[in-house]
A and B are shown apart, each in its own frame.
Chain A
Amino acid sequence: MSNNNNQTELLRFTTAGSVDDGKSTLIGRLLYDSKSIYEDQYEAIKESSARRGEEGVNLALLTDGLKAEREQGITIDVAYRYFATPKRKFIIADTPGHIQYTRNMVTGASTANVALILIDARHGVVEQTRRHAFIASLLQIPHIVVCINKMDLVDYSEESYNQVKTDFTDFASKLDVKDIDFIPISALKGDNVVEKSKVMDWYGGSTLMYYLENVHISSDENFIDCRFPVQYVIRPNTDEFHDYRGYAGRIAGGVFKKGDKVVALPSGFSSTIKKINTFDGEVEEAFPPMSVTLLLENEIDISRGDMIVRANNQPEATQDLEVMVCWFSSKPMQLRGKYTILHTSQDARAMVKGIRYKLNINSLHRDEEDKHIGMNDIARVTLRTTKPLFVDAYRKNRISGALIFVDEATNETVGAGMII
Chain B
Amino acid sequence: MSYYLSHLKELEAESIFILREVAAQFERPVILFSGGKDSILVTYLAQKAFYPARIPFPLLHIDTGHNFDETIEYRDNLVKQLGANLLVGSVQSAIDEGALTEEKGYNASRNSLQTHVLLDSLEKGKFDAAIGGARRDEEKARAKERFFSHRDEFGQWDPKNQRPELWNLFNGKKHYGEHFRVFPISNWTELDVWQYLAMENVPLPSLYFAHKRKVFKRDGILLADTPYIPKREDEEVFEAMVRCRTIGDTTCTGVWESNATTVNDIIAEVATTRTTERGGRADDKRSETAMEDRKKHGYF
Q: Which residues of A approach B to under 8 Å, CB–CB?
A: 1-3, 5-10, 35, 38-41, 44, 48, 62-68, 70, 76-82, 84, 88-89, 91, 103-104, 106-107, 110-111, 218, 221, 223, 231-232, 234-238, 240-241, 244, 248-250, 255, 277-280, 287-291, 293, 304, 328, 340, 342-343, 345, 398-399, 402-404, 406, 411-413, 416
Q: Is the CB of B143 within 8 A of A7?
A: no
B166, A110: Cβ atoms closer than 8 Å: yes
User: Chain A residue with minimal CB distance to B170?
Assistant: A342
What B residues does A248 contact at CB under 8 A?
Answer: 20, 49-50
Residue of A at shortest CB range from B189? A82
Docked complex Cα distance between A9 and B7 (Å): 5
**Which A residues are in CB contact (< 8 Å) with B173?**
340, 406, 411
Q: Is there a chain A Cβ closer than 8 Å to B171's Cβ? A: yes
B88 within 8 A of A: no
> CB-CB < 8 A to A48: which residues of B?
288
Contact of A1 among B7, B271, B279 (CB under 8 A): B271
B14 at the interface (CB under 8 A from A): yes
> When A68-B160, A411-B173, A416-B164 are in contact, do A218 and B3 touch as well, CB less than 8 Å?
yes
Q: How far is the CA of A89 from the CA of B195 in the complex (A)?
A: 13
Q: Is the CB of B53 within 8 A of A236?
A: yes
Flag if B23 contacts A232 (CB, 8 Å): yes
User: Do A66 and B171 touch (CB < 8 A)?
Assistant: no
20 A-B residue pairs with Cβ-Cβ distance under 8 Å, sorted by A, are A2-B268, A10-B7, A10-B11, A38-B273, A44-B288, A66-B141, A66-B159, A82-B189, A89-B189, A106-B164, A232-B21, A235-B53, A244-B53, A248-B49, A278-B48, A291-B12, A291-B13, A403-B169, A411-B174, A411-B175
Chain A CB within 10 A, most for which of B3, B51, B166? B166
- The answer to whether B268 and A3 have CB atoms under 8 Å apart is yes
Query: When the two chains form their complex, are residues B166 and A107 in contact, meaning their CB atoms are under 8 A apart?
Result: yes
B144, A291: Cβ atoms under 8 Å?
Answer: no
Q: Which residues of B contact A70 (CB under 8 A)?
A: 288-289
Q: Which of B142, B159, B164, B195 has the most CB of A within 10 A?
A: B164
Proximity string of chain B (273-293) to chain A, C-beta cutoff 8 Å, 1 when within and 0 when not: 111100100000000110010
Give which listed residue, A3, A81, A223, A287, contacts B143 with CB less than 8 A.
Answer: A81
Least CB distance, A304 to chain B, in whole angstroms: 5
Residues in B with CB closer than 8 Å to A81 are 137, 143
A67 to chain B, nearest CB (A): 5
CB proximity of B98 to chain A, nearest CB, Å: 33
Which residues of chain A are within 8 angstroms of B164 by Cβ–Cβ distance? Answer: 103-104, 106-107, 328, 413, 416
Chain A nearest Cβ from B141, distance in angstroms? 5
In the complex formed, the residue of B with least CB distance to A216 is B2
A104-B164, A236-B53 given; name 20 further pairs at CB < 8 Å: A3-B195, A8-B8, A38-B275, A38-B276, A48-B288, A63-B140, A66-B141, A70-B288, A79-B143, A81-B137, A107-B165, A218-B4, A221-B3, A248-B20, A290-B9, A291-B14, A291-B17, A402-B166, A404-B167, A416-B164
Output the nearest chain A residue to B291 by Cβ-Cβ distance. A65
Number of A-B contacts (CB under 8 A): 196
> B160–A66 contact, CB under 8 A?
yes
Q: Which residue of chain B lies nearest to A218 when distances are taken between CB atoms in the complex?
A: B4
* Residues of A with C-beta under 8 A to B21: 231-232
Q: Which of A35, A78, A221, A290 contacts B144 (CB 8 A)?
A: A78
CA distance A70 to B291 in the complex (A): 14
Contact A250 B168 (CB under 8 A): yes
Kindly state the separation between the CA atoms of A159 and B174 in the bound complex, as whole angstroms. 56
Partner of B279 from A40, A77, A287, A345 at Cβ < 8 Å: A40
Within 8 A of A (CB), among B122-164: 136-137, 139-144, 159-160, 162-164
Q: Which residues of B contact A103 (CB under 8 A)?
A: 164
CB of B144, distance to nearest CB on chain A (Å):
5
Considering the chains assembled together, what is the distance between the CA atoms of A44 and B14 in angstroms? Answer: 32
Whether B292 and A84, one on each chain, are in contact in the complex, defined by CB atoms closer than 8 angstroms, is no
For the complex formed, measure the closest distance between the CB of B176 and the CB atoms of chain A, giving whole angstroms. Answer: 11
Given contacts A287-B3, A399-B167, contact A76 B160 (CB under 8 A): yes
Minimum CB distance partner of B135 in chain A: A82
Instruction: Contact check, A342 vs B169: say whether CB atoms are below 8 A apart.
Output: yes
CB distance from B145 to the nearest CB of A (A): 9
Q: Does B198 contact A (CB under 8 A)?
A: yes
Question: Which of B5, B136, B292 is A289 in contact with, Cβ under 8 Å?
Answer: B5
> Would you call A63 and B275 a contact (CB within 8 A)?
no
